Amino acid sequence: MQEGKIFFRNLNSPLGEMIAGATDKGICFLEWHDRGGVERIKQRVEKRYRMSLIKGNNQHLDRLENELGDYFAEKLKKFGVEIDVTGTPFEKKTWEQLLQIPYGETRSYGQIAKHLGKPGAQRAVGRANGANYLSIVIPCHRVIEANGNLRGYGGKLWRK
């Protein structure tokens, strides 16, 4: 494992319990407990970041908790908490596009692929969405099918 730690703790939300983690640089994951189980989530994060997870807290987790509260109270439209994500270059570009989707709006997988200069790459966009470990903060829940249908959300479709 690399030097460094990821502090993690549970967070409550109106839509269910979540687990969040942060490095000293920012939030690196926010997942629903029912997305495969907490132990599985922790294993995936340790593998991806090559860092140890330690139950605890830091300033990024405190800020995330406050911002989530404001988000669910409809007082916050865009998160300001620092993030520390790791992924392939395509995943990172996709996540940057997700961050551009305004609150209350949606985009299709195809629209995002087109913005990335990769028309026809909607399946790759879908895979990148699924690789997003920052549920809600990087709003993959705002991506839908071209026909307006909901599709593929690790946090369960009823939340999307």
Query: Which residues participate in catalysis according to the annotation?
Result: 140
Which sign, positive or negative, has the C-alpha torsion 109, 110, 115, 119?
positive
Q: If residue 7 lies in a helix (H) or strand (E), which one and from where to where?
A: strand 5-11
CA-closest candidate to residue 35, choices 139, 157, 150: 157
What is the secondary structure of 56-125 as a DSSP string?
A: ---HHHHHHHHHHHHHHTT--SS--S-B-----HHHHHHHHHHHTSPTT--EEHHHHHHHTT-TT-HHHH
Is 8:19 a contact under the CB 8 Å cutoff? Answer: yes
